[in-house]
Amino acid sequence: MEKKEVFRTSIGGQALIEGILMRGPEKQAIVVRSKDGLVTKVEELKLIKDKYPVLGLPIIRGAVVFISSMFNGVKALMYSADYFPEEEEGEPSKLDKWLEEHIPEEKLQTVLVWFSVILSLGLTLLLFMLLPTFLAGFVDPYINSAALHNLIEGVVKVAVFLIYLILCSKQKDVARVFQYHGAEHKTIFCYEAGLELTVENARSQPKHHPRCGTSFLFVVIVVSILLSSVVFTFVNWRSFWVRVGMHLLLLIPIIGVTYEFNRWVGGHDNRLTRILSAPGMWLQNFTTNEPDDSMLEVAIEALRLVLPEEKGKDKW
């Protein structure tokens, strides 16, 4: 009997506040469960690589996709948050009034999104690069090996990452977002299995997915440790600022290599890829919770809205 080929889709998503962003090959959709029912927003995708083909080359495309995903993700989060305003809104500040009077609403939203993206990147670099590099510097007087220093710094990075995930998972509001994260994974698994997109079919699917963003971030840390172990043997690794500078220079190659690795793992299902993706899958225990049926309904609607007209166009 011929073995049925496993279908892997390029469609991916992101959990929002009471909603989900789903991105397909041609368009992206936001579905939010508001007090008045489901709210949907569908947009055609305009890929920058179509205008600048060089940005679609391997390694380079990883950084482009990462920044684009952050921008679209923050924009979608802000969109979903608009449906759940704070119960008690105070008087707008002078800065808020000035911005509303001098900057058009659409332009203001773009500015706020980019500000949020830059702030997020800054906090990420602070937590997962500057802090581990600073802490690892305390052991430098007692060691005489770049490799050992990189190992210690790598352990600190992983520890900081774990602590961050655990603390986030303990927050009540974040835990609910993580339920939508699980709904997104289950729905994509249901679609890839060729099953009808129903709550009943999606409910029984796994909540951990090998192409999850949590896994991506973990691989970024691993790749950064490996590349640093090679590069730091040729520089003054005892200098804090030299180490910081090298980490910044390596950011694009690290994200690029990680992106290509995830594409390869995502396109294959064998013993090797399952072993390589196992740590990232385990970390999803902190970022993915079991959803309820209403959340699965949101994920199913979001997925349906981005399915390509041409069957198979979203194949990984």
54-65 tens-digit pLDDT:
888 888 888 888
pLDDT score for 303: 97
Q: What percent of the chain has pLDDT over 70?
A: 91
pLDDT in tens, 73-125: 898 988 898 887 665 455 655 655 655 665 666 676 677 788 888 888 888 88
pLDDT score for 187: 96
For residue 171, give Cα distances in angstroms to 88, 118, 165, 181: 21, 24, 10, 15
pLDDT score for 309: 86
Is 199:297 a contact under the CB 8 Å cutoff? yes
- Bigger pLDDT: 85 or 256? 256
pLDDT of 156 strictly over 50: yes
In which band, very low, low, confident or very high, does the pLDDT at 3 lie, cut at 50, 70 and 90?
Answer: very low
Structure tokens at 234: 């040729």
pLDDT of 293 strictly over 60: yes
Q: What are the b/e assignments for 16-43, b being 16+ CB within 10 Å?
A: bbbbbbbbbbeebbbbbbeeeeebeeee
pLDDT in tens, 258-269: 988 888 887 777
Summary mean pLDDT of the chain: 86
β-strand partners of 34? 37
pLDDT of 35 strictly over 50: yes
Among 314, 212, 227, 216, smallest CA distance to 261 is for 216
pLDDT score for 28: 94
For residue 61, give Cα distances in angstroms to 12, 55, 259, 278, 293: 17, 5, 8, 25, 36
- Bigger pLDDT: 115 or 157? 157
Among 155, 176, 189, 171, smallest CA distance to 281 is for 189
pLDDT of 30 strictly over 80: yes
pLDDT of 45 strictly over 90: no
pLDDT score for 93: 57
- Bigger pLDDT: 105 or 223? 223
